[in-house]
Structure 1
Amino acid sequence: MEAEAAKYIGAGIACIALAGAGISIGTIFGNYLAGALRNPSAAQSQFPNLLLGFALAEATGLFGLIVALILLFVV
């Protein structure tokens, strides 16, 4: 019984990574937009960096989700 509760608590803690991913993606796009409005000519050259930051931030959220699902259904 205690192992089942610990499994749910661990999965919930692993899902905190999803909140961090959401916050970081909002920060990445907000800073890109602020920079693009200040200097529109440099916005196009910074677009690949925007996509890289988005991909890395989203990957950490997905890793947290995968860990949560593994804790719920495999362990």
Structure 2
Amino acid sequence: MAISKHIIITSLFISLLLLHPLVQAIDQEMTSNNRGGSSFAPKMNCGVACEARCRLSSRQNLCKRACGTCCSRCNCVPPGTSGNQELCPCYYTMTTHGGRRKCP
């Protein structure tokens, strides 16, 4: 009877040792997802944000279309009607095939 208790305790201890790295990996993945703003960040209303961004543009339809594309990819639109693009790094770095900035 005493031997079976030792076997059970030993096997429980070994299984805990084997599961510990797996639990650590899952915990680390969950904390890195929360830090990066990744998939848990709320989706912004691109239509309203781009309407405000493009309201003074001379070519509003073109501005709203480009802004909408950038907003949906980056989930960010800089404040104001122009400039401030460095506040949204993804928005700031998007370029056209010609090398010009895509986002208004």
TM-score bracket for the superposition, by shorter chain length: 0.3 to 0.5
The structure with the larger Rg is 2
Structure with higher RCO (Cα < 8 A, 6+ apart): 1
Give the alignment's TM-score, normalised by structure 1: 0.36
- TM-score normalised by structure 2 residue count: 0.28
Which has the larger share of helix? 1
